[in-house]
Structure 1
């Protein structure tokens, strides 16, 4: 049997994520959202903030813009500053209908 100096290095142990956010629909075409995500535990920990806007262009086309910023701390790799901008587009080929 071979024993390493850090036998629990790959063991993640207890960890948790707290996610708080909100979404606001300005009208039928525009919605905004914001969320904050805090992760803790053995290994990586971080605090990330995300902001976004979703636009409905037509009945079938939609687009969105998302920005995310924050810091992820890792005891082995140090702090990683995260800054992300993402653009999305969607096409809906079928019209969905629902009734309550």
Structure 2
């Protein structure tokens, strides 16, 4: 699903996208585009106002620090963020929301 233009996603900043019951955050680290669910897995808070610093997403509510590239929380892997596959197509950033369409992003 196309959700943004590449120039809307700034390095080290979070872009919030909400539609059809989804709340997602997009960011750019170096030249890599990332998309993850806008839910802190600790207590369900929304990290859309959180900071990206030194390769970490830092939740403003409780200070949880997630590795921004992998989504992992180093002290408990079961609390990792849910990431979605991203690609550029026709000058738009597309995110695969449905896991059953993997072939289209492979």
Same fold (TM over 0.5): no
Larger RCO (CA within 8 A; separation ≥ 6): 2
Give the TM-score of the pair, scaled to structure 2.
0.26
Give the TM-score of the pair, scaled to structure 1.
0.27
Report the structure, 1 or 2, having the larger helix content.
2
Report the structure, 1 or 2, having the larger strand content.
1
Query: Whose radius of gyration is greater, 1 or 2?
Result: 1
